[in-house]
Structure 1
Amino acid sequence: MTAPFNFGQLKFLKALTEALFHEAEMAITPDQVVANVCDLFAKVGGTKLDEIRLSLTATEFVLGGPFFTEDDVAGRAQKLKDRLQNSQIDLFQDMARLRGIIYACYYGHWQPGLEPGDQSANAANPVHRQIGFTLPKFRQRGSYDVPLEPVRGREIDPAHILDADSLEDEYDVIVIGSGAGGGVAAYNIAAQGYKVLIVEAGPFYPSHAITHHELDMIASLYKHGALQTSTNRDFVVFQGRCVGGSSTINNGICLRVNEAGRTHPDAKDVLAKWASIGAPVDAAAFHASYDAVQAKLGIAPIEPRSGRHNGPHLINGWHNYAAASTDPREKRAVADWFAKNFGPPNTVNACAYCGYCNSGCAYGRRMGIAQTYLPEACRDHGARILPGTKADRIVWQTAFDGRREAEAVKLILPDQSKGLVRARVGVVVAAGTIASSKLLDRSDIDGTGYQVSLNVASPVVALMPEGVGGDAWDEDQMSSYVDCGDFLLESHFQPPMSMASLMPGWFGDHASRMKNFGRVHSAGILFPADRRGQIADGKLKFSLDIDDDIPVLRDAMATLTKVHFAAGALECYPALARGQTITRDMDVDAFFRDAIREQDDVTLSSSHPHGGNAINEDPQHGVVDPDCRVHGTTNVFVTDASVFPSCIRVNAQWTTMAMAQYATGRRDPFR
C-alpha cells in the first residue's frame, strides 16, 4: 500500500499531534498516532486523501510553515490557540477541524492481533485503559443482560454476490444502491418475478466480518471514511457506502412523520406540507407502507436496559426541566424511548447493546437491509448483488410515445474496467441524495440536486458527579428522545474513537474530558434545515439561514444544556469550535446567543440528507412524479430519500424504506 503522505506532511502531523496533546499525558507515542492517521487515509484514498493533503499544507503555512515544526511544543500549542482555536476566520475554523482527526486517531488506536479486529490483543490497549473503557468481550454481564453472541442465519449468501466475471450482460431491472431505498425496492420488484441486479458502490461486509476496530470499520463502511463534508466544510455528512447502505452503520432509529403520541402535537404536518407544494402522497397508503416495513424489520420500542445510562438521563432530565417550565409547548413535548429495527426487542435476538452501532453490528442482531430484504430478495426471488461497482450513467433510447426509456447502465466494475449492462424492463435509482443526484445529472436528467434538506445535529456532553450510575459507555448508542416541536433532543454515546472526534475541547481540556469517559453523559440536538442546499459539481453545498435556522440552533443547544443540568450535571461541553465549558451558575441562553453567531462556531453534522430529486406533479418543480417515476421517462424510478419534497424533521431511515415500499410494493411500477 502506497504511503498517503510525504515526509514533510508526516513531520507536520507529528508536530501537530504533540501540540494538541500539550499538557496531556499520552498513552501511545505521537508516531503511533501519525501511523493511525496514515492507516485511515490509505484506506479512504480518493479525493478525500487529496483534500487532506492540501489541508495539511495550507494549515502548516498558516501556523508558520517550517518554523512551526521547529518550535517547542508549548510554542506550537500557543500558535494553535491564537490562529485556529480562537479564530473567527472561516478558513482557519475549517483548518481547526484537523484536531478531530488527530484525537480520533489517538483514541481509535488498535493493537494488531492474530485476526482482524482481535479484541484479545486489545485487552490491555493502553488508550482504553487510560480512559477506563472496556471492550465488549471483557465486560461483566449478569443474568439480566443480553449475551454478546452472534445471531446466525440472517446474512446474505456469498453465492449471491457477483464479481466482474459472474456478471451477466442483461437483467430485467437494475437497482442502483442497496440501502434503505434500494433494498426495499429490489425485494419488491424481484418478488414480482423480475430478474434483478443490485449495484452497490461499497464493499460487502457480512456481520461476521465486522469488528470493533473503529478506525478500520469506519474507513471501510462509510463514504469518504465518515469525513464527507459540505463544500464549505461546515457540515460533516455521514453516509454508509457498503452493502445494506446506511442501515448497516446507523443506530436503527425508526420514527414516522407525525406519529400520534410519538411526535410533538404542534409539529408541522409533513405530508400536508408535501401536498401543498405539489407533491400529494396518499397518507393511508403511505402509513400502510410504514406498517409493511415494520412487520419485515420487527420495529418496536427498545428495551430500557439497552439504553440504561444516557437513555433515562435524557428522559428524567427532561421531566425535571419541563416540570419547572412555563412554556406550554414544552409541556406538550414527547419524551420516549426510540423504536428500532434491532432484535426485535424482548426476544433472544434482541440488541446486545455493545455500543458499536455506528461501525456495524458484529453480532448480526441488527435487522438491517442486509439481514432482511436483500438476503430474501436473493434467496427467494433470484436477485443478485454486485458490490464495489459504480453506476456511471443511464443509457437511453426513445420510447414509442417520445419519452426517454432506459436501455442500459454503464458501470465501473470492481476491477475498474467499464461495462454496459442492459436493463430489459427498467432502472431504479436509490443511491442516496448525493449519489443519486450525481448519477441522474450524468444521465442528462435536468433539475437534479436542488433543495436538499438536512436534519442537522450537534452534541452537548455533560460531566456527572462521581458515582452516578455505571459506565456511561456500556449501552446502546442511542436510546431515547424528546420531540420539542421545533427540534428533537436525542441521547447518545459513542465508542472511544467516535466520542473523541465529537468531544469539544483542546489540549489538556480535551484529555481530561476523555479521562472522565465513564462519567460523561451525552445527547445531541436534531433540527430541520429545510431545502437549504444543492448538489453542485458533485458535492453538497449547504448553509443555514442566519435568521431562521441559527436561532433554532441556539435554542436547541441551550435547552439541551438545561436538561443536562436538570439531570444533575456539574458542567456541560457543547460542541463549539473553541471548546468552552458551561457551568450551572451561567446564563445559558445568553451564553449561546454570544457563542453562536454563525454556523462555523459549532460542530454540525447530518446522517439524513434528503431531497434533491423531489416528487412533484409539475416537471418544472420536481424530478419525479407522485409515483416516483422520473419525469419524461417510461421506466426509471427513484426510491430513496432524495425524492422527499421537504424536510421530514425526524430520522430518515423508516420513511425512506416506506417511500420505497410505497413506490414498488403496492403495485408493479413497470406496468
Structure 2
Amino acid sequence: MTAPFNFGQLRFLKALTEALFDGADMVISADQVVANICDLFAKVGGTKLDEIRLSLTATELVLGGPFFTEDDVAGRAEKVRDRLQNSQIDLFQDMARLRGIVYACYYGHWQPGLEPGDQDANAANPVHRQIGFTLPKFRQRGTGEIPIEAVHGREIDPAHILDAASLGDEYDVIVLGSGAGGGVAAFNIAAQGYKVLVVEAGPFYPSYAITHHELDMVASLYKHGALQTSTNRDFVVFQGRCVGGSSTINNGICLRVNEPGRTHPDALDVLAKWASIGAPVDAAAFHASYDAVQAKLGIAKIEPRSGRHNGPHLLNGWAAYAAASSDPREQRAVADWFAKNFGPPFTPTACAYCGYCNSGCAYGRRMGIAQTYLPEACRDHGARILPGTKAERIVWQTAIDGRREAEAVKLILPDGSQRLVRARVGVVVACGTIASSKLLDRSDIDGTGYQVSLNVASPVVALMPDGVGGDAWDEDQMASYVDCGDFLLESHFQPPMSMASLMPGWFADHAARMQNFGRVHSAGILFPADRRGRVKDDKLEFRLDTTDDLPVLRRAMATLTKVHFAAGAIECYPAVASGRTVTADMDIDAFFAREIREQDDITLSSSHPHGGNAINESPQYGVVDPRCRVHGTTNVLVTDASVFPSCIRVNAQWTTMAMAQYATGRSDPFR
C-alpha cells in the first residue's frame, strides 16, 4: 500500500496531534495516531486523499509553516487555539475540522490480531481502558437480555455476486445502486420475471465480514470514508458505499411522513406540499407502499431494553421540560421510541444493541436491504449483483415515438476497464441523491441536481452526575425521539471513534469529556433545510438560509440543551466551533444567538440528502414524472430519495423504500 503522505506532512501531523492533546494524557503515542491516520486515508484514497493533503499543507502555513513543528507543544497549542479554535474566518474554521480526524484516529485505535477486527486482541486496548469502554464480546448480559451473537442465514449467497468474468453482455433491467431505492426496485422487478443486474459502486460486505474496528469499517463502507463534505466543507454528508447502501450502516430509523400519533400535528403535510408544487402522489397507494416495506422488514417500535440508558434520558428530559413550558406547540409534541427494521422485536433474532449500528451490524440482525430484498431477489428470482463497479453513463437510442430509450449502460469495472452492458427492457437509477444526479447529468439529462434538501443534524452532549443513567454506549445507538413540529430531537450515542469525532471541545477539555465516557449522554437535533442545495462539480453545494434556517437551528439547539438540564445534566457541550461549555445558570438562548452567527460556527451533518431529480408533472420543473420515469424517456426510472420534490423532514430510509415500492410494485413499471 502506497504511503498517503510525504515526510513533511507526516511531521506536521505528529506536531498537530501533540498540540491537540496538550495537557492531556495519551496512552498511545502521537506516532501511533499518525499511523492510524495514514491507514485510514490509504484505504479511502481518491479525491478525498487529495483534499486532505492540500488541507494539511494549507493548515501548516496558517499555523506558521516549518516554525510550527519547531515550537514546543504548548506553543503549538497556543497557535492552534488562536488561529483555528477561536477564528471567525471561514477558511480557518474549515481547517479546524482536522481536529475531528486526529481525535477519531486516537480513540479509534485498534490493535492488530490474528484476524481482522479481532476483539480478543483488543480486550486490553489502552484507549478503551482509558475511557472505560468495553467491546461487545466482553460485556455481561443478564437474564432477559439478548446475547450478542450472530444470526445466520440472512446474507446474500456469494454465488450470486458477479465479477468481470461472469458478467453477461445483456440483461432485461439494469438497476444502478443497491441501497434503499435500488434494492426494493430490484426485488420487485425481478419478481415479475425480468432478468435483473444490480450494479453497486462499493464492495460486498456480508455481516460476517463486518467488525468493530471503526476506522476500517468507515473506510470500507462509507463514501469517502465518512468524510464526504459539501463544497464549502460546512456539512459532512454520510452515505453508504457498499452492497445494501446506507441501509448497511444506518440506525434503522423508520418514520413515515405525517403519521398520526407519531408526527407532530402541526408539522407540514409533506404529500400535500408535493401536490401543491405539481408532484401529486396517491396518498393511499403511498401508504400501502409503506405497509409493504414494513411487512418485508419487520418494522416495529424498538424494545425499551435496547435503548435503556440514553433513550429514557431524552424522553424523561422532554417530559420534565414540556411540563414547565407554556408553549402550546411544545405541549403538542410527540415523544416516543423509534420504530426500526432491527427486529422483529421481542424475538431471539432481534437487535442485540451492541451500539455499532453506524459501522455495520456484525451479527446479521439488522433487516437491511442486504439481508432481505437483495438475497430474495437473487435466490428466488434470479437477480445478480455486480459490486465495485461504477456506472459511467446511460447509452441512448431513439424510440418509435421520438423519445429517448436506454439501450445500454457503460460500466467501469474494478480493474478500470470499461464494459457496455445492454438493457433489453429498461434501467433503474438509484445511486443516491448526489451520485444519481451526476450519472443522469453525464447521460445528457437536463436539470439534474437542483433543489437538494437536507435533514440537518448537530449534537449536544451532556455530562450527568456520577452513577446516574448508566453507560449510554452499552445499547442501541439511537432509541427515542421528540417531534417538535419544525425540528426533531433524537437520542444518540456512538462507539469511541465516532463519539470522539463529534464530541465538542479542544485539548485537555476534549480528553476530559471523553474520559467521562460512561457519564455522558447525547442527543442531536434534526431540522429540514428545504431545497437549499445543488450538485455542482460532483459535490453538494449547500447553504442554510440565514432568515429561515439559522433561527430554527439556534432554537433547536437551545431546546435540546434545556432538555438535557431538565433530565439532570451538570453541564452540556453543544457542537459549536469554540467548544464552549453551557451550564444551567446561563441564558441558553443568548448563548446560541452569540455562538451561531453563520453555519460555519457549528458542526453540521446529514445522512439524508434528498431531491435533485424531483417528481413533477411538468418536465420544466422536474426530472421525473409522477411514476418516477425520467421525462422524455421511455424506460428509465429513478427510485431513490433524489425524486423527493421537497424536504420530508424525518429520517429518509423508510420513505425512500416506499417510493421505490410505489414506482416498481405495480405490474410492468416501464409501461
Please indicate, yes or no, whether the TM-score normalized by the shorter chain is above 0.5.
Answer: yes
State whether structure 2 residue 441 is matched by structure 1 residue 441: yes
Q: Deviations over 1:121-146 (max 9, x none)?
A: 00000000000000000011111210
Shift of 1:377: 0.1
Residue type matched to 2:20 in 1? Answer: L
Partner of 1:157: 157
Shift of 1:469: 2.6
Residue type matched to 2:411 in 1? Answer: L
Equivalent pairs counted in the alignment come to 671
State whether structure 2 residue 58 is matched by structure 1 residue 69: no
Q: Deviations over 1:130-164 (max 9, x none)?
A: 00000000011111210111111100000000000
Q: Is the 8 A contact 2:427 2:636 kept in 1?
A: yes
Partner of 2:337: 337
SS of the counterpart of 1:193? coil
Shift of 1:520: 0.2
Cα distance in 2 for partners of 1:521, 1:319 equals 17
SS of the counterpart of 1:43? helix
Cα distance in 1 for partners of 2:506, 2:207 equals 36
Partner of 1:630: 630
Partner of 2:259: 259
Correspondences of 1:208-607 after superposition (within 5 Å):
208-607=208-607
Cα distance in 1 for partners of 2:582, 2:470 equals 24
Partner of 1:104: 104
Cα distance in 1 for partners of 2:56, 2:286 equals 48
Identity %, equivalent residues: 89
Aligned Cα root-mean-square deviation (Å): 0.4
Cα distance in 1 for partners of 2:74, 2:152 equals 53
Q: Is the 8 A contact 2:192 2:667 kept in 1?
A: no
Q: Deviations over 1:19-55 (max 9, x none)?
A: 0000000010000000000000000000000000000
State whether structure 2 residue 44 is matched by structure 1 residue 44: yes
Cα distance in 2 for partners of 1:465, 1:149 equals 33
Cα distance in 1 for partners of 2:49, 2:376 equals 37
Partner of 2:114: 114
Cα distance in 2 for partners of 1:457, 1:342 equals 22
Residue type matched to 1:406 in 2? Answer: A
SS of the counterpart of 2:224? helix
Residue type matched to 2:363 in 1? Answer: Y
SS of the counterpart of 1:534? strand
Residue type matched to 1:396 in 2? Answer: W
Partner of 1:146: 146
Gaps spanning 5+ residues in structure 1: where?
none
SS of the counterpart of 2:363? coil
Cα distance in 1 for partners of 2:303, 2:222 equals 28
Q: Deviations over 1:605-639 (max 9, x none)?
A: 00000000000000000000000000000000000
Shift of 1:416: 1.3
Cα distance in 2 for partners of 1:411, 1:491 equals 41
Partner of 1:128: 128
Cα distance in 1 for partners of 2:210, 2:539 equals 29
Residue type matched to 2:421 in 1? Answer: V
Shift of 1:666: 2.3
Cα distance in 2 for partners of 1:472, 1:275 equals 42
Q: Is the 8 A contact 2:312 2:480 kept in 1?
A: yes
Partner of 1:647: 647
Cα distance in 2 for partners of 1:342, 1:241 equals 20
Partner of 1:656: 656
Q: Deviations over 1:563-595 (max 9, x none)?
A: 000000000000011100000100101111111
Residue type matched to 2:654 in 1? Answer: W
Cα distance in 1 for partners of 2:228, 2:218 equals 12
Residue type matched to 2:381 in 1? Answer: H
Shift of 1:415: 1.6
Q: Deviations over 1:306-326 (max 9, x none)?
A: 000110000000000000000
Partner of 1:60: 60
Q: Is the 8 A contact 2:160 2:385 kept in 1?
A: yes
TM, length-normalised to structure 2: 1.00
Residue type matched to 2:452 in 1? Answer: V
Shift of 1:58: 0.2
Cα distance in 1 for partners of 2:10, 2:661 equals 49
Cα distance in 1 for partners of 2:210, 2:375 equals 17
Residue type matched to 1:3 in 2? Answer: A
SS of the counterpart of 1:203? coil
Cα distance in 1 for partners of 2:255, 2:614 equals 21
Q: Is the 8 A contact 2:307 2:479 kept in 1?
A: yes
Cα distance in 2 for partners of 1:583, 1:259 equals 36
Q: Deviations over 1:421-476 (max 9, x none)?
A: 00000000000000000000000000000000000000000000001132121000
Cα distance in 2 for partners of 1:83, 1:552 equals 29
Shift of 1:550: 0.2
Q: Which runs of 4+ in 1 moved over 6 A?
A: none
Shift of 1:350: 0.6
SS of the counterpart of 1:261? coil
SS of the counterpart of 1:258? coil
Residue type matched to 1:99 in 2? Answer: R
Q: Deviations over 1:617-663 (max 9, x none)?
A: 00000000000000000000000000000000000000000000000
Residue type matched to 1:297 in 2? Answer: L
Cα distance in 2 for partners of 1:42, 1:660 equals 35
Gaps spanning 5+ residues in structure 2: where?
none
Partner of 1:168: 168
Cα distance in 2 for partners of 1:593, 1:222 equals 34
SS of the counterpart of 2:100? helix
